Amino acid sequence: MSDIDLTQLAARAELERVLGVTFRDPSLLLRSLAHRSWCAENGEVASNERLEFLGDSVLGLVVTNHVFAHFPGLPEGQLSEVRAGVVNARTLAEVASELALGDHLLLGKGEDAAGGRTKQSILADALEAVIAAIYLDAGFAEAERFVMRVLLTRIDEAASGPGGRDYKTRLQELAASRSLGRPRYHVRDEGPDHAKTFFATVLLDGAPSGEGEGRSKKEAEQAAAWMAHEHLTGASASGLPSPSPSGDQHALDTAIGSEESAGT
């Protein structure tokens, strides 16, 4: 693994403070933030993608172990639902935003200009890569401590039943309170049948209000609902991603003939 110039992350100490981790090997942290677009522009062969792969497994094990040990009354199906409620791109991007991880990403100029610092997929992948970096630098116990610190509340909410991290329900309730009507979702998909990516746009009062993507229709709709909910509640002003009008319009333009749901 080639070294990355530490000067390219001037705020490394601040990021370590936010993460609650001091790296013995700072290059691991920097590698976890290196998007492939930055690597392509700077002659770096390795991006954060391998770390993302490892971090996904570490994250899954930590969450699975916790819900198995702390919710003995839940059957296997509900345990899987709790895990899926937190181990998904929407939730991970939400956590990454709260940690201001986007401010520290190493992005290519084009990706940066295109809003890459607030893209759900990039943020979620970076958080998984950071988890892997912590695991490699300090071991499983430290990675587990970090994951539980940033996800414990969400795990408990997911285990409490519908409405915790169910942003479709929360958005529907918020829309009703503001007389915006029932949220409507346009969904399209791309890719082969075995590896589809779904893209959703949610409309409130006929206007695009949020968009999201996921590995399933449900996950994409939840991501879109999250963005719309954050936008309506003003959370985007705190550094969370806000909907992109141009992206919303593109999603609508390409949604002809795609599946539409009623938002329940």
Q: Is the pLDDT reported for residue 3 higher than 50?
A: no
- Mean per-residue pLDDT, 85-90: 90
Per-residue confidence (pLDDT) for residue 82, from 0 to 100:
87
Q: What is the pLDDT of residues 92-123, one digit of tens each?
A: 999 999 999 999 999 999 999 999 899 999 99
Q: What does pLDDT average to over the chain?
A: 82
Cβ contact 106:12 at 8 Å:
no
- Mean per-residue pLDDT, 6-25: 79
- Give dist(CA 221, CA 215) in Å, integer: 11
Q: How many CA atoms lie within 13 A of 114 on its CB side?
A: 11
Domains in the chain: boundaries: 11-159, 167-261
Here the tokens at position 24 are 């013995």
Class of domain 167-261: alpha beta
What DSSP line would sit under the chain, residue for residue? -----GGG-TTHHHHHHHHT---SSHHHHHHHTB-HHHHHHHT-S--SHHHHHHHHHHHHHHHHHHHHHH-TTS-HHHHHHHHHHHSSHHHHHHHHHHTTGGGG-B--HHHHHTTGGG-HHHHHHHHHHHHHHHHHHH-HHHHHHHHHHHHHHHHHHHHT-TTSS-HHHHHHHHHHHTT----EEEEEEES-GGG-EEEEEEEETTEEEEEEEESSHHHHHHHHHHHHHHHHHTGGGGT-----HHHHHHHHHT-TTSEEE---
Per-residue confidence (pLDDT) for residue 245, from 0 to 100:
34
Per-residue confidence (pLDDT) for residue 195, from 0 to 100:
78
Q: What is the pLDDT of residues 161-218, one digit of tens each?
A: 544 456 788 888 899 999 999 999 999 999 888 878 899 999 999 999 999 888 788 8
Q: Is the pLDDT reported for residue 261 higher than 60?
A: no
Answer whether CATH 1.10.1520.10 is correct for domain 11-159.
Answer: yes
- Mean per-residue pLDDT, 49-62: 96
Per-residue confidence (pLDDT) for residue 56, from 0 to 100:
96
Answer left, alpha or beta for residue 17, where phi above 0 means left and psi between -120 and 50 means alpha. Answer: alpha
Least confident of 83-97, 141-155, 187-201, 230-244: 230-244
Vertex 238 angle, CA 234 and 240, to 5°: 85
Cβ contact 188:258 at 8 Å:
yes
- Give dist(CA 258, CA 237) in Å, integer: 32
Q: Which residues are catalytic?
A: 56, 128
Confidence grade of residue 142 (pLDDT, cut at 50, 70, 90): very high
Residues 6+ apart with CB under 8 A from 96: 102, 123, 124, 126, 127
Per-residue confidence (pLDDT) for residue 165, from 0 to 100:
55
Per-residue confidence (pLDDT) for residue 258, from 0 to 100:
37
Q: Is the pLDDT reported for residue 225 higher than 80?
A: yes
Q: Is the pLDDT reported for residue 13 higher than 80?
A: yes
